[in-house]
Structure formats: C-alpha cells, structure tokens
Amino acid sequence: MDPTLAATASQWATDSNAALFIRLISGETPDGVLQAISSDLTADSEEAEEGGADVIQFHPAFTYPIYGEHERIFGYKGLQLNLSYAAGSLATFFEVQYAKRIEQMESTLAVALKADDVDAPMRSVLASQVCATREQFAQQVARDTLAFRPCGRKVHEYAARGDTGDERLRYEIYACGFDDAEFRKYHERMQTLVLLFIEGAQFIDMADERWRVYVVFERLDQGEHSSYSLVGFCTMYQFYCWPDRRRPRISQFLVLPPFQAQGHGSALYRFIYATVLGSDEYADLSVEDPSEAFDDMRDRNDMRYLLDHQAFAGVGEAPVPRAKIDALQRRFKLSRRQMTRCLEMALLRDITSEKSAAFARFRLFVKQRIYAQNTDLLQGMDPDEKKQKVAESFAAVVDDYRRLLSLL
C-alpha cells in the first residue's frame, strides 16, 4: 500500500470494541430517560444518574461476529456506537454517532476511500423489533421500568454476596422455555449479548424445545412497585440419556460485566447443580466448551460442595480405582472429567510433602490420566520427549490445583 494512503487510512481506523457502548437504562419518566440517552457519558463512566434515570454503561468483550475478525472500523473519527437497552425488558435502541466521516472530507488521493457500514451489521443481529427514535425508546423505557415483569417461572431468590444491607435489592432466577411466546420475543432481544461476550457463541435454535434457559434479574423494590434489571442468564440443552433420563449440558453462561465478581455466577451455577442433583430424571451435568473463568467458578463451587458433603471420605490415597470414581460420579452427577479433576484436587489437598511416597503415587496416577487423554498428541514423539511433555503438563496441573485450593 502507498505510504501516504496507509497513513491516511490509519487515522480513520477505530477499535470496534472501544467504539461500542452498551447501556442498561431505567427511569420512570420519558424526559429523564431521554436526557440519559442524550448524555455524553465518558468511557470511564460505568454508572450514572441522569435526569432521574439510571444508566449502566460498559463495553463488549468481542465484536468480531459483527464487524469482522480484526475488530476494526474504517472511515470515521470520534465514532460512538450506542446500543441501549431498557434494563429489564431489553427494549432496544441503536444509533451511530461520529464527528467526521471520510466521504465528507476533501482528498487529493487517487483512490476513493469509503467508510465501513456500521449500522446494517449491528441491526442484522438485533431483534426484529427495535425502537426507531430516541423518543420512542424513552417512552418504552419509562413504561417498562414500572410495568415489566420477567417471563417464566420464578424458581429461586437470593441476596448478593457482601450485601450492603439495602433490603430493597434482591435477585431472582427464572426458568424459561421456548414454548412461551413472550419469552421467545425476550430471548430474541437477549441473544445479541452472547455474541458480544462469549467467544465463538452462536444463536441457538428456539424451535428446539429441549432448550431450557435460566435468567437472573435484580429486583429493586421502591414503595409500591418493583423494577427489574437483567443480571445474566444460562442456556442449557437436555440430551437423551438411555434408557429414560436426561443429560443436561450448560451451553451459554453469561453474567453481564456490571454484575460480575459479586457472586451471581456462583449463585446461578449452584442453583442449576442443585436442580440436577435433586431430580431422578437427570443423569449428570456437563458443560460445553467452558471458558477459563467459568472453569474456575465451577471448580470452586464443586469442590466446596463435595468437601461439605464428605464426598472423599474413605477414598484414601492414589491410585483410586475406576469403580470408586464411577460411583462418585453417579452419586454427585458430575461429568467424568469434572469428577476426576475434583478427586485429584482432594488427593493433593491431603498430601503434606512432595517428597512423600503419597505424592509419588499421586504423580503417577495423574500422569497416567494425562497420557490417556493426550494419546493422539503424544503419538510420533520419542520416549524422552513424551516424558518431558507429560511432566510439564503434570507440573501445570499441580500449580493450577494449588491455586484453586487456595481460593476455597
């Protein structure tokens, strides 16, 4: 590319993650909401109160499903993409703002430069019905702040971890299915968020009634009425398990950034796990392609539950017979991989010295599992290289287990 052209192009490139502002808005009057929509919140303003309306603002983790793998937008200066939601109902409004657009500038370049279309790609992943104007959106938010009630069946309620004592705030979990027409409409609005926060996520098939969705809301009690804000959700697919049971698998699990690190993910996961444990129709609980953050949260919660319920009493030291691991798996309804992982952590927890015979037996036990799970990757390596790779994997596993155990 010509140096002059390259220099010009770089000046007009914008990071699409930084340009997209997601807002959750609640307010009882259209004027107050309209003022909040029109306010110029800076990137550092995560929460604000404008004209009597509450605004929570945050950026996405990903925009490549919408604006391409490089997550760059060309052709604008001062670009701001505002994706606004009513905090509870998720009534939606999207608008594009910018200071300059490249077609508006005079240029001596021989090549015509054209700005990327930023409106159509976003609208292609939004619900079919979105508000057309700021005024329409403001009126919808004002109505929904007072009138919106979650779809589905309320199945659990809890207080946030480290609750400040504000008795007006409670958190509720709702169980929903796609046989509910109102929830299908709600999910159409909600599903855009999976593209923005879950890597590799895709929309699920709402025509398949084997999906179950659990949605978490914050409920704020104010006098005679309550208002709701979306906190997060989990989609779960129910596979058939011979002969007459089901095997649920968590697919998408999201807590929105403003509500993260407050215990909501753990509260939702614990409820789902308790539901599986408490029903004879479920065989076990598995997870599809979990992120590292989800794995950490699940490991901590599973280990706490297993230790609290004396799951490993009488297990002894490594090696642990496969029959005993299978019995633990059936009793606690975890996948074999997860049950083995928790068992290994429990064994390591009881070892006092890495120079002990118990640790030597533990090392051999874990290395055998690592080798068995990575046979294809290890094929073709000479014996010394195999030993080195397995030893490196074992050391990483032990470090990770110790880190997790320190968090319990």
**What are the angstrom distances between the C-alpha of 59 and each of 12, 123, 209, 384?**
20, 17, 32, 47
- Angle value at C-alpha 246, between 256 and 306, nearest 5 degrees: 65
Q: How far apart are CA 62 and CA 71, in angstroms?
A: 8
Among 251, 246, 330, which Cα is nearest to 294's? 251
Cβ-in-10-Å burial (0-12, 13-18, 19+) of 223 comes to: exposed
As a whole number of Å, the CA-based R_g of the chain is 26
Distance of CA 327 to the CA centre of its chain: 31
CA distance linking residue 134 with residue 34, whole number of Å: 7
Q: Going along 317-387, which residue ranges are E strands? A: none
Give the tokens for residue 258: 């403003």
Nearest alpha-carbon partner for 87 in 258, 231, 255, 229: 229
- Give the catalytic positions in this structure: 288
CA 348 to chain centre: 30
Q: What is the 3-state secondary structure (H, E, C) of 184-215?
A: HHHHHHHCHHHHHHCCCCCCCCCCCCCEEEEE
CA dist., res. 217 & res. 312, Å (int) = 36
Distance CA 304, CA 309 (A): 9
CA-wise closest residue to 282 among 218, 225, 333, 231: 333
